[in-house]
Amino acid sequence: MSDCCAGNGKGYDLAVIGAGSAGFSAAITAAEQGASVALIGHGTIGGTCVNVGCVPSKALIRAMESVHQAGSSARFDGIRANGCVTDWAALVSQKDELVSELRQAKYADLLPAYNNIAYIEGVARIAEGGVAVNGSFVRAPKVIIATGTRPGVPAIRGIETIDYLTSTTALDLKDLPKSLIVVGGGFVGVELAQVFTRAGVKVTIVCRSHLLPAAEPEIREALAAYFEQEGITILGGVAYERCLKRDEGVELSFRMGDRLDTLLAEKMLIATGRSPNVEQLGLVEAGIQQTLSGTVVVDDYMRTSREGTYAAGDVTGRDQFVYMAAYGAKLAAMNALNSDSLVYDNSTMPEVVFTDPQVASVGLTEAAAKAAGYAVATSVLSLDNVPRALAARDTRGLIKLVADDKSRKILGAHILAPEGADSIQTAVMAIKFGMTVEQLGETIFPYLTTVEGLKLAAQTFNKDVKMLSCCAG
């Protein structure tokens, strides 16, 4: 779909560059305010999340969880089951159907419902008074940049000579490799490493520091142990030397301390971060400040260094989660139209990594709280203290709470649990509304749930929960 008037200088109140989650959030927010919006997209509509990120990866993660759960059913007496991948291509095809359905329903089909949004397909460039699109001019006094990111490629010698995978291409493989090197231990690396391991691939993760380096040490160390139990080899603290193409696949040379070593695998997956889509925007000419990595610098009102130009979503390098992209874009649109009154606030932003067990966090880590000057108190509760985990015969994981020892207010919550993602929002609400550890510990929770572990972790500040009866306290 395109706007027939885009080439004759038609004026809009707002131009939004990028048609992913941030772009759509900005455009719809502005349209609901009565503004006329030019939404400019290039390539497949819908952006990262629905096409090559959240939706396809979580579909495959869930599928591999079913395989793993079948194989681990022996933890229950009298039950034996086996799960295996019989047709990986069929699973990928099913994933693609879901992506196509959601892209159509949540993006393309929404546009006709908003008469004041004109969708324009083309490459956009910031221009005086608006945006140039494929040589035509779109007049708009306010512009929002929401062009997102793509998989980043690290500067490893020889990497340009090998046929490496990214998070995008790995999700489209029709045939499973026998072995895989995953370069990077962040969100994407750990999620996909576990997916392919459970599909029967021999996986080795290599990373510069640890798995999930920003996570609490108790959580990342426990997750690494669970990964190793599943057969994943983890090599941390490495310096990448070079890549070589071999007849058998790909060879990676790396240094660990003083030792030079090599790995050989059929495929290599690069999962070391994201690069912003900014090359064609003309940011330098427009006077828009960027970081060294190329991301667009914004202030707390989502404003760039150029008057009337805002940015939101992954292209800013800030909080690269789809829900935060949509949130930031909504603020950008509101501020662009209403005199910059709304401030971006990520203080109670939940983060989830969809490994098994899941990693979910909100607020400050212990280290961050200490660095901020708090007198810090913590509690760490292993899941063998949570009745839900005992009934499920799966006690992998822990819950860690961080609090201000003076005010007793909860500053951070960090969960490693099979159902951690569905439990973290309770901690979000507790921190958002300033609950103390005592107030959380006194709150009524449903029995035999993972989220009940938050109550028990709060009680752990003051008592030994092993000495409580069921639901006591």
Summarize the annotated binding site for NAD(+) as residue ranges. Answer: 184-191, 273
Residue 3 is which amino acid? D
* Binding-site annotation: residue ranges: 58, 184-191, 273, 314
Residue entry with tokens 């708090």: 374
Which DSSP category does 257 fall into? T
For the chain, report the end-to-end CA distance as a whole number of angstroms: 60
Decide: residue 201, CB within 10 A, 0-12 exposed, 13-18 middle, 19+ buried: buried
Q: DSSP of 353-389, one letter per residue?
A: E-SSSEEEEEE--HHHHHHTT--EEEEEEEGGGSHHH
Using DSSP, state whether 51 is helix, strand or coil: helix
Give the C-alpha separation, 428 to 412, whole Å: 9
CB contact burial 35-58 (16+ within 10 A = b; e otherwise): bbbbbbbbeebbbbbbbbbbbbbe
What residues contact residue 160 under an 8 Å CB cut-off, 6+ apart?
none
For 413, phi and psi rounded to 5 degrees?
Answer: -140, 135
Residue 151 forms beta bridges with which residues?
A: 274
Q: Do the Cβ atoms of 182 and 151 come closer than 8 Å?
A: no
Residue 311 forms beta bridges with which residues?
A: 145
Token digits for 18?
């990028």
H-only helix segments in 287-442: 322-337, 366-371, 387-391, 424-432, 437-442
Query: Which strands form 249-256's sheet, in the order they lie side by side?
Result: 239-246, 249-256, 259-265
Token digits for 61?
């993660």
- Asked if omega into 418 is within 30° of 0 (cis), the reply is no
* Binding-site annotation: residue ranges for FAD: 58, 314
Angle (CA) 355-428-346 rounded to 5° is 90
Label the pairing between strands 358-363 and 351-353: antiparallel
Token digits for 313?
């979503």
Q: Do the Cβ atoms of 269 and 164 come closer than 8 Å?
A: yes
For 228, phi and psi rounded to 5 degrees?
Answer: -65, -35
